[in-house]
Amino acid sequence: MPPVRIAIVGAGPVGMVCALALRHRGVPVTVFEKELSPVADQRAASLHPPTLEMLDDLGVAQRILPLGLVSTKYRFHDRVRGVVVAEFDLDRMRGEFRYPFVLQYEQYKLTATIAAQSVKSRNFEVRFGHCLTGLRQDGEGVDLKIASPNGAERLRATYVIGCDGGRSTVRRLAAIPFVGFTYPERFIKIATSFDFGTVNADLVLRNYFSDPYEWCNLFKVRGENATGLWRAILPLSPGEDDASALLPERIEARLQTFFPKAGPYPAAYANVYGVSQRVAGTFRKGRLLLAGDAAHVNNPIGGMGMNGGIHDAVNLAAKLADVIHGADDSLLDLYDRQRRHAAAEYIQAQTIANKRLMEERDPAVRERNFAELRRIADDPEESRRYMRRAALVDSLQTANAVT
């Protein structure tokens, strides 16, 4: 079998965007995904303005815009008193952002959209049911061992990109450390078709509720039908185990406590998961490269994980394509420096700060935090500065300036 030019492990949004970006630059790529088919996993769903610009450059944005929910505003709420603390409106960034809004579009849909393009290109292949089991690199390439539906396969790639999530096989086989910590509490995500807007007129499509004991991210996605789904992300109570949290009566009680209403909630799905803040010790080890959750993970407050991963993918694809076309491979070290800087100095710092804001228990500190949010939101230039940072624009500009 002829060698695979670039091998990407993981067909999530980061792996698929990376593959598409490489194909756009004339580099053949094959994506290996251990699942037998695309998985409708209910994870990330918010695409920030600079991410939409990147997807536009790849011919994807205009295809997905009619399929998602356009969210110009996001609000911070004080759950204790039931009031809106501050609102930020991305429409104020019109003229600076090509897309002055966030698109609520589930990551599995983005993956499927890009995968559909792969069938039209000889240089872009996605192999489902193919699981990486081993690799060995030398000065000329990487040998991969793949478990496939047809049995064990051995393949040769010029470079391998690990986009295979927080438990990355590529990162493990490369013996790259994953430095950071795991939060003691676990998170629960609950989706319901009930329209929360009928019980709270203060809601927009993206909402952050601060509470000393049970903060909540509440946002809306289109789901699979016209009614849409509201997703709530909350922390488990101390000592609450996964099985208890997932009991129908506990899910109902949690939603009723949050928004009391007559009759039960129609719960579409619920899952419990652990959350960490970690960054890989390096994003490059020879011909092995990491991007997305394989390179860095963070809490979901602010919707920065998938977006930061897509920014990794676009940065890496540009540099790797140049290397394939003859540039010095030190460009890949620059990728490592730039995107590790973005992960450590921006995504990690901002998501940790976001969680602290949401869960602050000291009443005096809470009031100071709220007063500062109001001040920023009410000042036109301060609010624009805040929205640039929250949308990862500052992260991109600062990281791209690293040499």
Q: Mean pLDDT, 10 residues at a time, over the chain (403 residues)?
A: 77 95 94 86 88 96 95 96 96 95 94 79 88 95 94 95 96 97 94 89 95 94 88 92 95 92 92 94 98 95 91 98 95 97 90 92 96 97 96 94 94
Contact 123, 28 (CB under 8 A): yes
Residues 280 and 26: their CA atoms lie apart, in Å, by 29
Per-residue tokens: 334: 């620059």
Strands (DSSP E) along 172-283, which ranges?
178-182, 187-192, 206-210, 216-221, 229-235, 267-273, 276-280
Give the span between the Cα atoms of 272 and 252, in whole angstroms.
Answer: 15
In a domain, 402, yes or no: no
Q: Cα 363 to chain center, whole Å?
A: 32
- Residue 377's SS3 state is helix
Whole-angstrom Cα distance, residue 176 to residue 302?
27
- What pLDDT score does 3 carry? 53
Say if 142 falls within a structural domain. Answer: yes
- Establish if 65 belongs to a structural domain: yes
d(C-alpha 300, C-alpha 44), whole Å:
8
Residue 233 domain-assigned (yes or no): no
Which residue in this structure is represented by tokens 């676009």? 314
Q: Total domain count for the chain?
A: 1
Phi, psi of 273, rounded to the nearest 5 degrees: -150, 155
Tell the residue number behind the tokens 């930020």, with chain if given. 88
Determine if the pTM surpasses 0.75.
yes
The secondary element (H helix, E strand) that includes residue 145 is strand 142-148
**Which residues fall within 8 angstroms of residue 209, CB to CB, at 6 or more apart?**
77, 78, 79, 215, 216, 217, 218, 358
Q: In DSSP terms, which residues pair with 56 in a beta bridge? A: none
The DSSP secondary-structure symbol of 216 reads E
Residue-by-residue DSSP string for 265-325: --EEEEEEE--EEEEES-SEETTEEE-GGGTEE--STTS-HHHHHHHHHHHHHHHHHHHHT
The one-character DSSP state at 98 is: S
Q: What range does the domain containing 315 cover?
A: 4-72+104-182+277-358
* CATH number assigned to the domain comprising residue 316: 3.50.50.60
Closest C-alpha to 342, from 300, 389, 303: 389
Question: What is the per-residue pLDDT across 312-369, written as a single tens digit (0 to 9) for each?
Answer: 999 999 999 999 999 999 999 999 999 999 999 889 888 999 999 999 999 999 999 9
Tell me if 161 is assigned to some domain: yes
